[in-house]
């Protein structure tokens, strides 16, 4: 696997680390359990990193030196792709020929490296986009920075080179075909999963309400509050500002709800959100809800599970999401999700059953959608139970098995450049 711009060893929820990191860790572990050994190449971002680290039995993370350890942002990395590829090819050259059977690249930067490595080794290239420039640019938040044309060119090249493209949802497969000209024989849909051992509603034998109270006590949240949680990277694309504005609208209309309402924001600045890391805090103050909103730095997944269990609902007003893992995680913890009807969220959330899907980003619409979660405790309890049952169908084991099928298909029937090379007359 190639993960150039972010390491599976990084803490997700801030900077460049998010769902893709979790996806690679969970997928690699489950593939290893299916006897598919995984090595993940990632760029070294510190001088004290060892050349390789065993992440789990059968999963090795290799650190490749490509450019200075610190000080490079994701946008600088296209200039380091040659150096990175050099490191990957050199590692392979140290093994017997045929060491790697297949390359699975994640995000377009890795796809560029995978394109070359797979062709050099004569093995299939499987690629997962995670996000796409054209899709992001079509749904930008107001004032957000669009993705540059060079990324679109790079993504188009990767689509052309790949033997298989794994999409999170049928919609994403449609976007790959519609925006980038992917062919049907390249496309495979594999829903990502959720770690059901970590994200559980409550300890066996405990009622959800008791688990919620216990989680709230540990997190310093009032036992009887209505807790509307935001979790993830803080950037315009994820639209935490829409949640804050909606809360302000709701409290202007129903001031009596103020003493019951708590809005924790768990995560750190990322992407274009890094330009003004404190902008959300400022917005909360400007809206006069600084007492309601609480900011917390990103936490590890077991701690995040506590936040989900403590919440009345998870709120995801995103403009674009390739899937939105936090939606599955919260539901697996028995918490309903109020989400924008974008990307994978309509797959992750069953409207009216395990949460609510909201169209558009008008704070007044979001205030209306959130109000019943604040005023009707039985709604969250009912939807939360349905959410846990729904999320239980999304284990990573199933995602890994489906991915292994895609690998087998690519090995037997390549559809990208490998197929073209093989078709060439001898």
Residues in 198-237 that interact with ligand UDP by CB under 6 A? 231-233
**Using CB under 6 A, which of 266, 315, 345, 399 touches ligand UDP?**
266
Instruction: Tell me whether residue 324 or residue 363 sits nearer to ligand UDP (CB atom).
Output: 324
Q: How far apart are CA 115 and CA 108, in angstroms?
A: 10
- Least CB distance to ligand UDP at residue 326 (A): 4
**Using CB under 6 A, which of 3, 6, 7, 12 touches ligand UDP?**
12
Q: Does 349 contact ligand UDP by CB under 6 A?
A: no
Question: Alpha helices of 162-226 — where are they, by DSSP H?
Answer: 170-180, 208-219
Q: Give burial (CB, 10 Å; 0-12/13-18/19+) of 398.
A: middle
Q: Does 13 contact ligand UDP by CB under 6 A?
A: yes
**Using CB under 6 A, which of 304, 313, 332, 342 touches ligand UDP?**
304
- What is the H or E stretch that residue 315 is in? strand 313-316
Nearest to 22 by CA among 307, 327, 389, 337: 327
Q: Does 243 contact ligand UDP by CB under 6 A?
A: no
DSSP codes joined into one string, 348-393 = HS-BTTTEEEE-S--HHHHHHHHHHHHH-HHHHHHHHHHHHHHHTT
Residues in 372-391 that interact with ligand UDP by CB under 6 A? none
Cβ neighbours of 277 (radius 10 Å) = 13
Instruction: Tell me whether residue 200 or residue 233 sits nearer to ligand UDP (CB atom).
Output: 233
In this structure, are residues 175 and 129 in contact, taking their beta carbons and an 8 Å threshold? Answer: no
In this structure, are residues 356 and 339 in contact, taking their beta carbons and an 8 Å threshold? Answer: yes
Instruction: Tell me whether residue 111 or residue 298 sits nearer to ligand UDP (CB atom).
Output: 298
Binding piece for ligand UDP, criterion CB under 6 A, among 15-23, 47-55, 71-79, 251-259:
15-23
**Using CB under 6 A, which of 125, 329, 354, 380 touches ligand UDP?**
329
- Least CB distance to ligand UDP at residue 321 (A): 7
Q: Give burial (CB, 10 Å; 0-12/13-18/19+) of 124.
A: buried
5 known member of a binding site: yes
Tell me which residues touch ligand UDP (CB under 6 A): 12-13, 18-20, 22, 231-233, 266-267, 298-299, 301, 304, 323-326, 329
- List binding-site positions for 1D-myo-inositol 3-phosphate: 5, 16-21, 74, 107, 131, 151
């Amino acid at each position: 696997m190639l993960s150039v711009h972010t390491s599976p060893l990084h803490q997700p929820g801030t900077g460049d680390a998010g769902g893709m990191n979790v996806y690679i860790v969970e997928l690699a572990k489950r593939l290893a359990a299916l006897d598919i050994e995984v090595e993940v190449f990632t760029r070294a971002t510190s001088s004290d990193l060892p050349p390789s680290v065993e992440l789990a039995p059968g999963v090795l993370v290799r650190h490749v030196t490509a450019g200075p350890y610190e000080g490079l942002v994701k946008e600088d990395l296209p200039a380091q792709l040659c150096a990175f590829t050099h490191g990957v090819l050199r590692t392979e050259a140290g093994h017997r020929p045929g060491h790697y059977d297949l390359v699975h690249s994640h995000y377009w930067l890795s796809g560029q490296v995978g394109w070359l490595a797979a062709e050099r080794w004569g093995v299939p290239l499987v690629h997962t986009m995670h996000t796409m420039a054209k899709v992001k640019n079509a749904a930008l938040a107001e004032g957000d920075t669009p993705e540059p044309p060079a990324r679109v060119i790079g993504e188009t090249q990767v689509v052309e080179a790949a033997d298989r493209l794994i999409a999170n949802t049928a919609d994403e497969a449609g976007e790959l075909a519609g925006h980038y000209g992917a062919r049907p024989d390249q496309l495979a849909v594999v829903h990502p999963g959720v770690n059901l051992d970590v994200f559980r509603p409550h300890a066996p034998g405990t009622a959800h309400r008791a688990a919620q109270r216990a989680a709230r006590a540990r997190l310093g949240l009032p036992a009887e509050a209505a807790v509307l949680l935001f979790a993830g990277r803080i950037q315009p694309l994820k639209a935490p500002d829409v949640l804050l504005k909606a809360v302000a609208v709701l409290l202007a209309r129903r001031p009596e709800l103020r003493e019951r309402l708590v809005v924790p924001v768990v995560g750190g600045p990322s992407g274009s959100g890094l330009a003004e890391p404190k902008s959300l805090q400022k917005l909360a103050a400007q809206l006069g809800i600084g007492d309601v909103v609480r900011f917390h730095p990103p936490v590890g997944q077991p701690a995040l599970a506590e936040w989900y269990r403590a919440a009345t609902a998870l709120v995801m007003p995103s403009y674009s999401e390739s899937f939105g893992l936090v939606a599955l995680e919260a539901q697996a913890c028995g918490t309903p999700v109020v989400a924008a009807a974008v990307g994978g969220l309509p797959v992750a959330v069953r409207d009216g059953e395990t949460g609510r899907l909201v169209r558009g980003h008008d704070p007044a619409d979001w205030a209306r959608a959130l109000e019943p979660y604040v005023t009707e405790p039985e709604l969250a309890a009912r939807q939360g139970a349905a959410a846990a049952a729904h999320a239980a169908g999304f284990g990573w084991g199933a995602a890994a098995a489906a991915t292994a099928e895609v690998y087998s298909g690519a090995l037997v029937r390549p559809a990208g450049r490998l197929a073209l090379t093989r078709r060439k007359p001898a």
